[in-house]
Structure 1
Amino acid sequence: MADTKTTELQNALFSAADALRSKMDANEYKNYLLGIIFFKYLSDKILYQVLDLVGEGETTLEEAQKVYEENFDDEDLVSELKSTFSYSIDPEHTFQYIVNVINGKVRKDGIIKTFQIADLADAFNTIESTSKDFEGLFNDVQLYSPRLGANAQKQADTISNVIKAIANVEIVKTPGDTLGDAYEYLISQFASESGKKAGEFYTPQKVSELLTKLTLVGKEDYEELHVYDAAMGSGSLLLNFQKYVPSTLKNKIFYYGQEINVSTYNLAKMNMILHGVSPANQELRNGDTLDEDWPPVSQTMFDAVVMNPPYSYKWSAATGFLNDPRFNPYGVLAPKSKADYAFLLHGFYHLKGTGTMAIVLPHGVLFRGAAEGKIRKKLLEDWSIDAVIGLPANLFYSTSIPTVVMVLKKNKSDSSVMFIDASGDDHFEKGKNQNQLREKDLQLILDTYKKREDVDRFAHLATLDEIKENDYNLNIPRYVDTFVPEEPIDLKKVAEEMKQTDEEIKQNENELLGMLKDLTSEDQDVMDGLNEIIQLFQKEN
């Protein structure tokens, strides 16, 4: 039942984008649709709470709107709503009120009120002003943008069409995490349509699942879980932990995330709320991960760190960072043109001694020299690198290059490194635009990682001595030989096949010769030519 509801909700929400698709690309219209859906969710939550408190059998949102308008002067009701929610919306700023205005059901001074963009803008401002957590949350919903229409009326018409498309969609009383899953679905669809522009806010679900499950290996007995993503995008990677921990741990996950792009940061905040994460269980920050360390290590260290940072990102690499405790132990800094190891060391610094980190990076981190080579050597000699997992090309929306997952730990019991080559054609499903990991591909990687045993042409557990012999180069083909030798040729069988083929040719030629001899013509030139052909066949035989 839940699967059916999820599909229905996904279809309804995505169809609402039709009102915007012709006016702008997906990277822009996602802000409108996701923002308006989020507004409806906040508004509908309040209306259903009103029904629970003072309703007398009413069940619909339209009925709840009437009850709210009739009882808004009840101080006890208003007080109860404020204590229940961390935001407030008065009756003239709810989503349902705006729907009623659009449908011509609201009169002011005896005149039917018409919908104006300002009606929605005022509603957004009302929500944003009630709590610090909601400040600027709707900034990317550019309601007065000319992209919506050439004038105020056309802009209002466009937004009206979006609102009407989702007006009857139930997004509060859905089973399980249906709304959160639908929101994730929309984000993934926008990422697919946006292509390279989407890399900053979305990691494909199967890759997210792999990173999450890698960090959860051996954490079955945890009473609570602190998780961190220093390049969180839309928060989708963090939210995966809800799906793969025991139900008793689901409400004991504490999420920490940082994102430099304010639009994507706001998307992550919405995503957390729609997935039912309590404000007490999350701390998200809009900031530059590399420029200023966060969070303070005195505040928390993490059981799991997951990250899919921008590849080969340019950063300052200022000399002062050599005194930063994140980078100081390594004596060098990641190069200005490639911050891959800067992100890795930042996340690793914030890892608990019993924690696990999984990060997606380009293959260059495995073999590039100079400063990166020195950092890699230090990590290996400290026994910090636990596994190197090669992924197929073209998995991500932001790049088609093959990538690698590095798994790190602080207190390993040995120096070995598990190498897994999951990039071969047998380990993913080819798609028209994007390749995808399948469930069986994911499970094979996880099982191999847990067993830490060699698998022919797929995995190898390398000792530190082996890695030293390779001059600390971690390029996967040095450790996992995926070459498939050709089967030896049976020359006797080949000779027999050649003999058989030669006999078949002779038999066919004889049959053809017989048919040529049966041919006749009254034209002497034709017969002369036919006889010459017959003589040629007879000479060869």
Structure 2
Amino acid sequence: MVEQHQQELKKQLWNIANTLRGNMSADDFRDYILGLIFYKYLSDKLNRYADELLSEDGIQFAQVDEKTDEGKEILGAIKEEALDKLGYFFKPSELFHVVAQAGVDGEFILDDVRDVLNDIENSTMGADSADDFNGLFDELDLTSNKLGKTPDARNKLIAKVLEHLDNIDFHLESSEIDILGDAYEYLIGMFASGAGKKAGEFYTPQMVSKLLAKLVTMDNPNLKSVYDPTCGSGSLLLRVAKEANNPDLKFYGQEQNPSTYNLARMNMIMHDVHYSRFDIQNDDTLEQPAHIEQRFSAVVANPPFSADWSANPLHLNNERFSDYGKLAPKGKADFAFVQHMIHQLDDNGTMAVVLPHGVLFRGAAEGHIRQHLIKEKNYLDMVIGLPANIFFGTSIPTCVLVLKKNRKADDDVLFIDASQYFEKGTNNNVMRDADLKRIWDAISTRKNIDKFAFVASPKKLKENDYNLNIPRYVDTFEEEEIVDLSVVSAALVSIDRKILTTDMEVKGFCEELGIDVPFEVKR
């Protein structure tokens, strides 16, 4: 029943988004539809919570008169409780259903929507939740021409969105709380698939997220904290929570893109993560790290592949990079992210990061850093090759590196080549549950598997000059079948005789009918 409810909810939300966005790009409409779904979620949650508080008085939150002294007193008491429990508050007249109904009645509601979104944010000023709600709705520009050329056209579109969303029952039992959050992530993924690289930069495919989450919780299911330096919409952090065994897990992340940063905070709240349990910051992680003094039980990331960064020589004085002696190239920040993540990892933690294949074998500064990580630090634990074309917006093959700080000197490195195990999709290849299980079985046994996995000793890595290119370790070469030319020759002679026999049969048949043979028969 729960799964059916979830699938129906996903279908409804995507149909609304697809129907109403018109000529607007998926990437542009994303911020509006997801922001308004979030408004409805906050509204329904506040309404239920306030009704519980007022149940003994026999009244409902929507019935409180905001203009009377008694009503103001009641709302003041509810606000105090709501800010502590939920982190936000707004008035009954600002409930989603009230505003949506006004739109159905033909009223101009754009100003009302803008005001309530501002009031939600303003209600948190001075509260512990202020940082998590600050600027949360900045990307919902209700004056944008993308919504329509005139105020009336924009109002009509927003009114339709609210009307459709108001007709969906979002009420969920506490045990089903993730249904809406998962539907929200489904929408993020659907928008990402339709919006190309820009959206793909903040969305990690489900199976890849699941793999990373299982990797960092494998030896520590009770981990206390998880950190993602390029957290995007936050889906990877939330995936770790599903694999972990700690309901009080704390989430930390940083995201450079403002709209995606807002999306990550919304996503946390939609998954019922209390504002005190997450700390998501908006800035460039490599240049302005927000959590530099903290260490985390698990670190996961899907950084933008081969991104530009400053590579400022002053970074060599930074404790994240100083020990390596060289910086990642200006046009390829991949190893800069790896170094940053290692710095944030605690001594008993595990980190897993998705990177382009080039990090395995590129030379110069990257080769130097790679060798230092393996030879001097001994942090590398696994290299997993993934199929090509599984990320939105790019078809390049990728890999997962797993690193730990608590490895022993003679510990081996596990190489897995999972590049050939996937289902071919319309736009992107897809990793299946069976493909993930194949990888996980190899990790669990940590033994050589013909054409799939290889356990490399420190000596083997040294022999390869610390080049991690997977074919150097996992032999996937398939021998070509040897062709016996005498067999081929005999087959050709047989075919030729068959043709001749057939020609003679046709000649005889034609002679019986008294007609000309349509070709010359050669012996």
Query: What TM-score comes out, normalization by structure 2 length?
Result: 0.92
The C-alpha deviation readout for 1:45-72, integer Å capped at 9, x for no partner, is: 111123223248999xxx7523576973
The C-alpha deviation readout for 1:428-452, integer Å capped at 9, x for no partner, is: 0000101100001111112212322
Q: Does 1:443 align with 2:437?
A: yes
The C-alpha deviation readout for 1:4-57, integer Å capped at 9, x for no partner, is: 110121122222214542141011111001111111111111111232232489
Among 388, 395, 414, the residue aligned to 2:390: 395
Change (3 A) 1:83 1:473: closer
Matches within 5 A, 1:264-343: 264-297=260-293, 300-343=294-337
Aligned to 2:412: 416
Moved runs in structure 1, 4+ residues, more than 6 A?
A: 56-59
Distance 2:484 2:455 in 1: 36
Count of aligned residue pairs for this structure pair: 509
The C-alpha deviation readout for 1:162-181, integer Å capped at 9, x for no partner, is: 10010021224252410111
Distance 1:81 1:218 in 2: 38
Aligned to 1:217: 218
Is the CA contact 1:227–1:238 (under 8 Å) kept in the aligned structure 2? Answer: yes
Single out whichever of 333-342 and 5-14 deviates more from structure 2: 5-14
State the shift of 1:290 in Å.
0.5
AA matched with 1:312: S
Change (3 A) 1:150 1:196: same
The C-alpha deviation readout for 1:395-429, integer Å capped at 9, x for no partner, is: 111311111111111121334221111112xx000
Q: Secondary structure of the residue that 1:252 maps to in structure 2?
A: coil
Single out whichever of 334-343 and 13-22 deviates more from structure 2: 13-22
Change (3 A) 1:507 1:68: farther
AA matched with 1:187: I
Q: Secondary structure of the residue that 1:34 maps to in structure 2?
A: helix
The C-alpha deviation readout for 1:291-319, integer Å capped at 9, x for no partner, is: 1333133xx31121111111111111111
Is the CA contact 1:380–1:415 (under 8 Å) kept in the aligned structure 2? Answer: no
Distance 2:387 2:65 in 1: 54
Distance 1:134 1:240 in 2: 22
Aligned to 1:183: 184
Distance 2:470 2:210 in 1: 22
Q: Secondary structure of the residue that 1:16 maps to in structure 2?
A: helix
Aligned to 1:432: 426
Aligned to 1:171: 170
Q: Secondary structure of the residue that 2:508 maps to in structure 1?
A: helix
The C-alpha deviation readout for 1:494-532, integer Å capped at 9, x for no partner, is: 5664565455344323322321332425xxxx5xxx599
Aligned to 2:194: 193
Among 373, 383, 390, the residue aligned to 2:367: 373
Single out whichever of 275-284 and 172-181 deviates more from structure 2: 172-181
Distance 1:476 1:497 in 2: 41
Among 467, 478, 487, the residue aligned to 1:484: 478
Is the CA contact 1:231–1:289 (under 8 Å) kept in the aligned structure 2? Answer: yes
Q: Does 1:363 align with 2:362?
A: no
Aligned to 1:93: 94
AA matched with 2:96: F
Matches within 5 A, 1:228-243: 228-243=227-242
The C-alpha deviation readout for 1:371-405, integer Å capped at 9, x for no partner, is: 11110011111221111111111111131111111
Distance 2:465 2:413 in 1: 15
Change (3 A) 1:503 1:58: farther
Q: Unmatched 5+ residue regions in structure 1?
A: 105-112
Query: What TM-score comes out, normalization by structure 1 length?
Result: 0.89
Is the CA contact 2:283–2:289 (under 8 Å) kept in the aligned structure 1? Answer: no
Q: Does 1:263 align with 2:249?
A: no
Query: RMSD across aligned C-alpha pairs, in angstroms?
Result: 2.3
Q: Does 1:130 align with 2:131?
A: no
Distance 1:67 1:254 in 2: 36
Among 364, 383, 391, the residue aligned to 2:378: 383
Distance 2:397 2:425 in 1: 15
Q: Does 1:116 align with 2:109?
A: yes
Is the CA contact 1:65–1:96 (under 8 Å) kept in the aligned structure 2? Answer: no
Change (3 A) 1:230 1:81: closer
Distance 2:41 2:195 in 1: 25
Aligned to 2:402: 407
Aligned to 1:46: 46
Q: Does 1:66 align with 2:63?
A: yes
Distance 2:483 2:338 in 1: 49
Identity %: 44
Distance 1:371 1:180 in 2: 42
Change (3 A) 1:51 1:318: same
Distance 1:417 1:150 in 2: 59
Change (3 A) 1:52 1:261: same
AA matched with 1:229: D
AA matched with 2:387: P
Is the CA contact 2:361–2:469 (under 8 Å) kept in the aligned structure 1? Answer: yes
AA matched with 1:255: F
Among 445, 470, 473, the residue aligned to 2:467: 473
Q: Unmatched 5+ residue regions in structure 2?
A: 125-129
Distance 1:86 1:508 in 2: 88
Is the CA contact 1:50–1:67 (under 8 Å) kept in the aligned structure 2? Answer: no
Aligned to 1:108: none
Aligned to 1:110: none
Distance 1:210 1:270 in 2: 24
